[in-house]
Amino acid sequence: MGHCACGPGAPRFGQFWPGSNAMNESSHNILLAFVDWVENKVAPDTIVGTSEEGAETRIHCRYPMQSVWDGGKFGCMPGGT
C-alpha cells in the first residue's frame, strides 16, 4: 500500500501515517477493517480515504470494483480489465 501516497485524491486510509484527520474506525482504517474481517467475519466492501489535507474523501472499492466519479460523487462500479 506504499504506492498510495502523496498524490491527488484521497490516499490516507490508515496504512502508515495517521495525520491529524485519522479516524479510529474500520470504515476509514484498513488495518481495523482487516481486524473486523478476521475477528467478526465482516469483509469490507469499501474503505474511505482522506486527502493529504483532510478536506476531501472518497471511497476505495473492493476488487474487482473500482471507484468511479459520476459527476456528483464517487461510487463503486465493475472494473475493466
pTM: 0.73
Residue 14 banded pLDDT, cuts 50, 70, 90: confident
Residue 5 banded pLDDT, cuts 50, 70, 90: low
pLDDT at 65 over 90: yes
Domain residue spans of the chain: 1-81
Residues 22-51 have a mean pLDDT of 89
CA–CA dist 62, 34 (Å, integer): 12
Nearest to 68 by CA among 54, 79, 57: 79
Q: What percent of the chain has pLDDT over 90?
A: 30
Beta-carbon contacts of 44 under 8 Å, excluding residues fewer than 6 positions away, are 26, 27, 33, 36, 37, 62
Residues 2-26 have a mean pLDDT of 68
